[in-house]
Structure 1
Amino acid sequence: MLSAQQHTRALLDYIDASPSPWHAVQTTVNTLLQANFSELHEGDAWALAPNGRYYVIRDDSSIIAFTVGNDLTENGFRLIGAHTDSPGLRVKPKPNSKVGDFNRVGVEVYGGPILATFTDRDLSLAGRVYVQKDAQLSSHLVHFNKPFLRLPNLAIHMNSKVNTDGLKLNKQTELPLLLSVANDQLSSQPNMVELLAKELDVNTADIAAWELQSCDTQAGAIYGVNDEFYANSQLDNLASCHASLSALVSRPSLNAQQFNVCAFFDHEEIGSNSHKGADGCFLSDVLERVAYSLKVSSEDYKRALSNSFLISADMAHAYHPNFPDAYEPEHKVLVNQGPVIKVNANIRYASNSASQARFIQLCTQADVPYQQYSHRTDIGCGSTIGPMTSAKLGINTVDVGCPMWAMHSIRESAGVLDHQYITRVFTQFFA
């Protein structure tokens, strides 16, 4: 068994290889292929083999992987859901913005990032680009593996109240990223589209469209006196993707002969209301087609759903000792103290007493500690894919996640033990 640090190192490598949702799906596929999973295409007819291992991709940034088990009607599906996207800055369709001698890249805020954390970072770009060449469209993953963008802070001499009022950035006028400056001493001052064309070895006129986001070039790190913490971008929610993926391809899971499912959705950070989001039809389409391929009747499929269970895996808010008043005093969850069961009376989280009890039982079986979280009642509570997925499918669901600091920062952090803990629980669930 890997040590907690080794398992966390594997997580950091997974995230470093996944600077965008499209890359995250490709990195996930690489792991699935090593475990002998085969791709299914939604446009093809499906013929599932006994004990088969499969995955389905929708629009490059959402993926569902599953194993074929025995007696779907009686055993149901065992599902873990997570998401591939993270808050950040997305490049606009017409990105080239020149002010004076400066070339800038125009960006739009995606989701709810802590914008101040994007300042003074060594930024790059990653995502998906469509090229039209010789009347053919092709999709390409792009990751400029070097820092060439920056959002410099305004010096305190021009912003003297920054430490008392906080850093406030106008999303339209103060977020464009600095790309280059015109200078006769420099050989060239390319704009973003020209850089993109060079990276893809095409002409600028060949570039049809893109979905690109800024990304931090600093690699993930394990830190602390005892190497007990780790930091990287996109812990929310690639850490949950990695934990559930690791469980799915583990030997206990692959030998279990059960219908184990990992569903990783795009667009969670902006509401999930898309054809590939958790509020869409992707998961229900896949589950229905699994049942249809196995000649399970409509009634027996509904019976299978009633016998299914979903773990909605998304990161949780760890107690921050510098801000004690931000937390519900009886529900302070700590890093390296185990996965967190998230509860909300208004169903912002899907957990109920039955689903909580089942997850607690899994923790007991896996010899893993657990914690329970409730948000401060006088502060608005976030949500997850749990409630909407549970409502769409009628599957009992628990919302869980590892505790972390600085959620939605460009550099988030968490505890190495928790990642190992939750992977053990997920493996127990799939076994």
Structure 2
Amino acid sequence: MTAPFDRAHTDDLMGFLSGSPSPYHAVANAAGRLEKAGFRQVDETAAWDGAAGGRFVLRGGALIAWFVPEGAEPATPFRVLGAHTDSPNLRIKPVPDTGRLGWKQLAVEIYGGTLLNTWLDRDLGLSGRLALRDGSDVLIHIDRPLLRVPQLAIHLDRGVNDGLTLDRQRHMTPIWGLGTPREGELIEFLAAEAGLEARDVLGWDLMAHSVEPPAYLGRGRELLAGPRMDNLMSVHAATAALTAAAAGEPRHIPVLAAFDHEENGSTSDTGAEGPLLGTVLHRSVHARGGGYEERTRALAGSFCLSSDTGHAVHPNYPERHDPDHHPRAGGGPILKVNVNQRYATEGRGRAEFAAACERAGVPWQSFVSNNAMPCGTTIGPITAARHGIATVDVGAAILSMHSARELCGAADPYLLANAMTAFLLP
């Protein structure tokens, strides 16, 4: 039996998922919600002030937002909610127009640990951004069937049901028309869709996405299926938690850090391995009159809750899970533990998370990998090591992680957001 929840939160998540097919859309949508809550965008190249209120910085597919309470001192600690905006998918190559034998196709590169077979025979749109001659960017979101990666018919691969093997270079190239491919055709099409001149488009970051909308499943609509839950569920929950904390009376400075490029290692100027979060935190201290001493004290007293999806126990593959740890969909957020620091959770983090869930009245579960299976990782250990901030790794339990379409309990997004809010308001 799943926990009771406010379905309006999950309905809102469904809209957020549909409207955020790329990291750039995700941060734009989160920023729009923050602006409605009174936060204002600040320019990284401008001077910052230390006045109370909410602020956020956008850089590509990353967003850092924070709220300075009245009376905050230079050494006031931070409470950070960490997440990431990117998801495994198919991304368009620099020379996109390709094809053969009467088919027009688009050349793609595999981004992250994609579950390749889930992209077969699925109607796909295109999204991302175009970089223009004048230095500006334009977001692209074509949310209608445009592409398709067709699977080979069973008559031509009689052993397919005994084991499907996909070559990333040869088998994952989507079709998008008939005829002979022509150089520049994709960019001409996208420019026309955006009301631009193709000659003004000098660069692009484009990706495919499933156009099938999120949906409730199950007899009692107790399940939620949708794209990019890993990890836009956490971004959505953290945005809601930050705005709720800003409306309360936080004793710390609540922060949302939504990074890009987690799925391929976080090593970029917008990834957790980069300097973006540290720079924002340091500048926040400086804007309130602090120096090295105050900054060091603030970080020493800070805490980070790194939120990413985790594995719910799979009823068809229970042997792949630890026999004593079976997180279930609808059972509330999971505490993720790995003693080899693939997750950053230690005893103190467990206590902080358990206390937050207790204050919120939220059930929670523990997750640890089967010893015989390699363990994934998150931004948690990176954030802890890079900034010296105590960190705990949590998330929501899902099935079909890294699929084009994932599955969770419909109550879990709401429960995760409530736990996050309580974490920000200890």
TMscore range, shorter length: over 0.9
Listed as ranges, the matches of 1:110-149 within 5 Å are: 110-132=111-133, 136-149=134-147
Listed as ranges, the matches of 1:269-280 within 5 Å are: 269-280=263-274
Gaps in structure 1 of 5+ consecutive residues: none
* Aligned-partner Cα distance in 2 for 1:143–1:277: 23
Partner of 1:164: 162
Q: Which moved more, 1:121-130 or 1:68-77?
A: 68-77
* Aligned-partner Cα distance in 2 for 1:32–1:252: 10
RMSD of aligned alpha carbons: 1.7
Distance 1:251 1:312, change over 3 A: closer
Of 316, 319, 325, the residue aligned with 1:322 is 316
Find runs of 4+ consecutive structure 1 residues off by over 3 angstroms: 70-75, 188-191, 251-255
* Aligned-partner Cα distance in 1 for 2:168–2:247: 46
Partner of 2:177: 180
Partner of 2:186: 192
Check the 8 A contact 1:68/1:257 in 2, yes or no: no
Distance 1:180 1:190, change over 3 A: farther
Letter aligned with residue 416 of structure 1: A
Check the 8 A contact 1:9/1:222 in 2, yes or no: no
Partner of 2:383: 389
1:259 aligned to 2:253? yes
Letter aligned with residue 85 of structure 2: T
TM-score by length of 2: 0.95
Aligned to 2:209, the other structure's residue is in SS state: strand
Partner of 1:29: 31
Check the 8 A contact 1:247/1:253 in 2, yes or no: no
* Aligned-partner Cα distance in 1 for 2:193–2:344: 44
* Aligned-partner Cα distance in 2 for 1:274–1:182: 39
Check the 8 A contact 1:103/1:191 in 2, yes or no: no
Check the 8 A contact 1:248/1:254 in 2, yes or no: no
Of 41, 47, 50, the residue aligned with 1:48 is 50
Partner of 1:95: 96
Letter aligned with residue 77 of structure 1: F
- Deviation, 1:190, is 9.2
Check the 8 A contact 1:125/1:213 in 2, yes or no: yes
Gaps in structure 2 of 5+ consecutive residues: none
Check the 8 A contact 1:105/1:179 in 2, yes or no: yes
Q: What do residues 243-302 of structure 1 show as CA deviations (whole Å, max 9, x unaligned)?
A: 111111126754436410000000000000111100000000000000000011211211
Aligned to 2:313, the other structure's residue is in SS state: coil
* Aligned-partner Cα distance in 1 for 2:155–2:137: 46
Q: How many residues get paired?
A: 420
Check the 8 A contact 1:253/1:430 in 2, yes or no: no
Partner of 1:82: 83
Letter aligned with residue 58 of structure 2: I
- Deviation, 1:148, is 0.9
Identity of aligned residues (%): 38
- Deviation, 1:141, is 0.2
* Aligned-partner Cα distance in 1 for 2:54–2:279: 17
Letter aligned with residue 104 of structure 2: N
Letter aligned with residue 367 of structure 2: Y
Letter aligned with residue 241 of structure 2: A
Of 420, 423, 430, the residue aligned with 2:417 is 423
Listed as ranges, the matches of 1:238-253 within 5 Å are: 238-250=232-244, 253=247
Listed as ranges, the matches of 1:260-409 within 5 Å are: 260-409=254-403
Letter aligned with residue 87 of structure 1: P
- Deviation, 1:176, is 1.1
* Aligned-partner Cα distance in 2 for 1:255–1:31: 20
- Deviation, 1:189, is 12
Letter aligned with residue 394 of structure 1: G
Check the 8 A contact 1:67/1:258 in 2, yes or no: no
Letter aligned with residue 118 of structure 1: W
- Deviation, 1:197, is 2.2
* Aligned-partner Cα distance in 2 for 1:306–1:189: 55
Letter aligned with residue 111 of structure 1: G
